């Protein structure tokens, strides 16, 4: 559906930062962690991976999407963990939309 695809791309274009959460309300701290600016390049998924630095061996359960209106926590399908060097790469942060009936 062209309308739904356009709506999702418009939402993605408004995302100014993506962060990582250890639950549905707590953002990662420490280890040089900072939110990163995503590149959606006009699409609905990342054009390039996000390369986070953070606290080694910390488990992440949520992505945090930030736009001018605030923040939204989105649960990951599976938890991810910073490696022992404090690195965690996110390859996908797809934005989707659907029509409700």
Three-state SS annotation for 48-69: CCEEEECCCCCEEEEEEEEECC
pTM, entire model:
0.93
| Distance from C-alpha of 41 to C-alpha of 83, rounded to nearest angstrom | 28
Assess if residue 73 is contained within a domain. Answer: yes
pLDDT at 84 over 90: yes
Q: How many domains does one find in the chain?
A: 1
Assess if residue 98 is contained within a domain. Answer: no
Look at residue 2 in the predicted model and tell me its pLDDT. Answer: 86
- Number of other residues whose CB lies within 10 A of the CB of residue 44: 20
Assess if residue 97 is contained within a domain. Answer: no
Domain span at residue 85?
2-90
DSSP classification of residue 11: H
Mean per-residue pLDDT of the chain: 96
Look at residue 1 in the predicted model and tell me its pLDDT. Answer: 65
Task: Give pLDDT tens digits for 33-56.
Answer: 999 999 999 999 999 999 999 999
């Amino acid at each position: 559906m062209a309308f739904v695809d356009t709506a999702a791309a418009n939402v993605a274009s408004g995302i100014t930062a993506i962060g990582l959460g250890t639950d549905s309300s707590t953002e990662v701290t420490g280890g040089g962690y900072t939110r990163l600016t995503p590149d959606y390049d006009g699409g609905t998924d990342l054009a390039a991976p996000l390369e986070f630095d953070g606290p080694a061996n910390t488990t992440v359960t949520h992505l945090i999407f930030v736009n001018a209106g605030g923040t939204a926590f989105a649960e990951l399908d599976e938890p991810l963990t910073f490696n022992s060097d404090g690195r965690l790469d996110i390859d996908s942060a797809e934005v989707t939309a659907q029509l409700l009936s």
